[in-house]
Amino acid sequence: MSKNPQPILTVSAVRKVFGETEIIRGVDLELRDGQRHALIGPNGAGKSTLFHLISGHYAPDEGRIIFDGHEIQGASPEYINRLGLARSFQITNIFPKLSVFENLRIAVMRRHGLQNTLWRFMSSYANVREDTDRLLEQVRLQSRRDAIAGELSYSEQRSMEIAMALASEPKVILLDEPTAGMSHEETDYAIDLIKSATQGRSLLIVEHDMDAVFSLCDRISVLVYGQVIATGTPEEIRNNQKVKEAYLGEEFKV
Partner 1 sequence: MKSNIWISLAVGTGLLLAFPALVSQPLVNAGIQMLIAALFACAFNLLCGQAGMLSFGHAAYFGIGTFATIHTMNAFGGAGLLPTPLMPLGGALIGLLTGGVAGWFATKRTGTYFAMITLALAELLHALAPHLKGVFGGEAGIYAMRMPAWGISFGSSIEVYYLTLAWVFVSLLLLYLFTLTPMGRLSLGLRENSHRLKFLGYDVHRLSVTVFAISAMFAGVAGGLQALHTESANYVLFEGHVSAAVVLNSYIGGVSAFLGPALGAVLMTFFGYAVSDLTRSWLLYQGLLFVLIMMFMPTGLIGVFKWLGTSRKTYGTAQLLPLICLGLSTGMILTAGVVFAVEMLQRVFSLDYRSMSALSPAAGWAPITLFGRDWLPNSIGTWIVPLSLLLVGVALTSQVKRLWRSLVDRVEHHRENSDAAIRRNER
Q: Name the residues that contact partner 1, by CB under 8 A.
A: 55, 57, 76-78, 81-82, 86-87, 89, 93-98, 102, 105-107, 109-110, 114-123, 125, 164, 167-168
Q: Which is nearer to partner 1, 122 or 254 (CB)?
A: 122
CB of 20 to partner 1, least distance (A): 27
CB of 227 to partner 1, least distance (A): 26
Least distance in Å: CB of 155 to partner 1? 19
* Burial environment of residue 10 by CB neighbours within 10 A (0 to 12, 13 to 18, 19 or more): middle
Instruction: Mention every residue, 6+ apart, whose C-beta is less than 8 A from residue 106.
Output: 95, 98
Q: Shortest gap between Cβ of 76 and partner 1 (angstroms)?
A: 8
CB closer to partner 1, 113 vs 200: 113
CB nearer partner 1, residue 9 or residue 86: 86
Using CA atoms of 203, 81, 153, 201 in order, give the dihedral in degrees to the nearest 10: -30
Find the shortest distance in angstroms from Cβ 10 to partner 1: 21
**Residue number, 165 or 222, with CB nearest to partner 1:** 165
Residue 10 vs 99, nearer CB to partner 1: 99
CB of 187 to partner 1, least distance (A): 24
**Closer by beta carbon to partner 1, 97 or else 184:** 97
